[in-house]
Structure 1
């Protein structure tokens, strides 16, 4: 499609807040690398259903007039950023306004679908030599995890409330055959939660451990079934909100919410539920995560785990890569594969008895969140988040949506039992 409108950016990135966005890579390496990066990007785009427009009137891409379109406003700067930092630079270029599009999710989806083949295989082997690895300070040891979690989840409860529905549920909804709209989102979130609680056999008298509280909706829903709930989080903001929600629901005698690392939990529980928390654990600690659940779960107990997953080959190839998501959104995390999760549980008494995938529903969930976030851009600014942050957050939601829309990512619910109980 021909682009007649772009978002633009209404402020120069603050160099104290966004040093790597405000500063353009310089030096001979950046200049020479930019020539290669520009050629590789144009080559990749030429095979995809997109239209990339340049200031000189050049249009690259295999798409027709109705295809997703992007404008590269500053081609030289864009190429330098990609040359210096790969996909990190690609995201930073969007944050800086070097490129733009009316619909970032639509543009990013064809790139996500072709992700394994975008970079020639000969250059992929050089990735560890030219791109940075994950900082040691961001690995999810007990010393680092609180800081990593706080950088995302403690941004502002008011920020999350602007784009989440009234359930304040920050994970994929389950729409099934129901049309995905803002009005149906709360019911779809409850459908997802209820499916997990059913899978874990949560009912009257169940001693339930929730690893990763969110803003408390699952704990409240479990307590209303008659369960006694202990929920742990490392986000002070989430703990405060969730405790208030539990109190307002009149369930304070049934729900306990602790600011505690999952590894420090003690006791015995009939069921464990964890929703999209393992992605923040880090691959070095997946075994610890399952060993901890095994230690805490009573014989015959059940586990319901919801996780985003990616293909195993891509997970292994990118495991040591420092990504834009690491740098700006979720430090220290890694999306697991199905094989990695089942392998990590193999040294325990836990056995997977059910898997259920619904990745397309996550694409719809993210679309609704992104539309809501963009619609409240002025209020986001009033909360103190600048234009660079707002572009970063929109890119994050669109980037994630594209992963699910393309099928590159999935979200699954895993049911595990201890000692093979069914």
Structure 2
């Protein structure tokens, strides 16, 4: 289901430069001064200034200098710290510099869309070939072993159910919706999330009497909707916070006799099912475990069963370049995560399962709109986020995360796919 790019929308401004100090106890690496050497900072500044000169941006430096071909404004308030952090920490430093208030943008999504659209050309080719010498490597602690996966999931999804409820719609769906048209309004988001869920359940042919395994519960909306069709659902999650609220929502819907929500790793699942559904879960599995994840799906299906996945994907060449890189997103948002490419999914399914890929539909423009609505809602409710105990550094971090993700889809660098796999009769 390919769609036209959405029409431009008015985006809310990013927060102004921070006016409160960074708490070194909570954010030690953000509060710390950049650690890049003078020489490395100078080289980084030289390379990045030349790169910025070639981009459709209006870059303004605090010392009065400027760069760019014209476009969204990027204000660099502390050039030395900005270049120093990137020189020492790469992509991690870029994000930490924003968290520290060393740069800002009135149209944050616009600036990040330019970067995302030029991702393969931001670093000159000769330096790209030396990537292994300067990029940060993923820490072993983030490997998605059974213990590691529990820790990685908890660090994001157990933050606070109340936090997620502030910017998600009433369905508490934390994945791309499917809209009828663009631009989309907040009042349409819940219906668009149900449209997405119904499409997945239709692909899986979930109906009266279906036995369904869901890998990745979220807050239970898909399980509730499947059970309302007459299915029997076993849903797996590693998040205690999500499980607790999902159970409440299942009970409130009067479907507790049809839905089991288990605190269980997908690798420990048992039984055979008519359908397996997994929405934006594969991104958290980790490249090392993609074969096991898809083998598990294959093993859980009855002969003739159907598996439906929704997955965020990135270009294959960029996935290969970044598969061992430690990024800001991995450090602060989704530890242990890696987005697959369409090619990686196809190869893994072909080489490690007996599943047949029946269809794949991409609709990245819908995710850009979903993220815009979440980001605007998060910004509007900043005081309520603060009241939950999340400080200004956290709010800047999540603003960047949501804007960064939206930019990836607006630029076409990221896409989101819905897959249908079948297990052939044997």
Identify if the C-alpha distance between structure 1 residues 25 and 56 changes in structure 2 by more than 3 Å, giving closer, same or farther: closer
Alpha-carbon distance between aligned partners in 1 of 2:170 and 2:125, rounded to the nearest angstrom: 46
Residue 254 of structure 1: which of 235, 258, 262 is its match? 258
Equivalent residue number for residue 90 of structure 1: 94
- Measured after TM superposition, the shift of residue 131 of structure 1 is 2.2
Give the secondary-structure state (helix, strand or coil) at the position aligned to 1:230.
strand
What CA deviation, in whole Å up to 9, does each residue of 1:352-409 have, x standing for no partner?
1000000011011101100000111111111000110000000000000010000000
Aligned residue runs from structure 1 range 144-183, under 5 A: 144-177=148-181, 179-183=183-187
Give secondary structure in 1 for the equivalent of 2:147.
coil
Contact 1:176–1:361 under 8 Å retained in 2? no
TM-score normalised according to structure 2 size: 0.95
Picking from 43, 47, 54, the partner of 2:50 is 43
Change (3 A) 1:420 1:12: farther
The answer (yes or no) to whether the contact 2:213–2:233 under 8 Å persists in 1 is yes
| Cα distance between partner residues in 2 of 1:5 and 1:350 | 45
Q: How does 1:309-388 map to 2 (within 5 A)?
A: 309-346=313-350, 347-388=352-393
Note if contact 1:351-1:420 (Cα within 8 Å) is conserved in structure 2.
no
> For residue 390 of structure 1, what is the aligned residue in structure 2?
395
Give the direction of change, closer, same or farther, for the CA distance of 1:6–1:179 in structure 2 (3 Å limit): closer
Q: CA RMSD in A?
A: 1.3
Structure 2 counterpart of 1:132, from 130, 133, 136: 136
Deviation at 1:102, TM superposition (A): 1.7
Alignment of 1:65-104 (within 5 A): 67-104=71-108
Structure 1 distance, partners of 2:278, 2:15, is: 40
Contact 1:10 1:387 in 2 (8 A): no
Query: Counterpart in 2 of 1:34?
Result: 41
Report what 1:284 is aligned to.
Answer: 288
- Structure 1 position 125, deviation (Å): 2.3
Say which of 112, 115, 118 aligns to 1:114: 118
C-alpha distance in 2 between matches for 1:74 and 1:45: 16
Partner Cα separation in structure 1 for residue 19 and residue 77 of structure 2:
15
8 Å Cα contact 1:315/1:335 also seen in 2:
yes
Contact kept? 1:168, 1:217, Cα under 8 Å: yes
Q: 1:178 to 1:51 in 2, by over 3 A?
A: closer
For 2:14 and 2:24, locate their aligned partners in 1 and report how far apart those are by CA, in whole Å: 27
Call closer, same or farther: CA 1:6–1:148 in 2, change over 3 Å: closer
Aligned to 1:417: 422
Task: Please give the alpha-carbon distance, in whole angstroms, between the structure 2 residues aligned to 1:380 and 1:35.
Answer: 38
In the comparison of the two structures, how many residue pairs are matched? 413
Q: Which residue of 1 aligns with 2:277?
A: 273
SS of equivalent residue, structure 1 residue 168:
coil
Cα distance, 1:24 vs. partner? 1.4
Alpha-carbon distance, 1:419 to partner: 1.5
Q: 1:56 aligns with which of 56, 63, 85?
A: 63
**Gapped regions of structure 2 (runs ≥ 5):** 1-12
Deviations 1:166-193 (A, max 9, x none): 0000000111335411011111101110
Which secondary structure does the structure 1 equivalent of 2:306 belong to?
Answer: strand
Local SS of the residue matching 2:297: helix
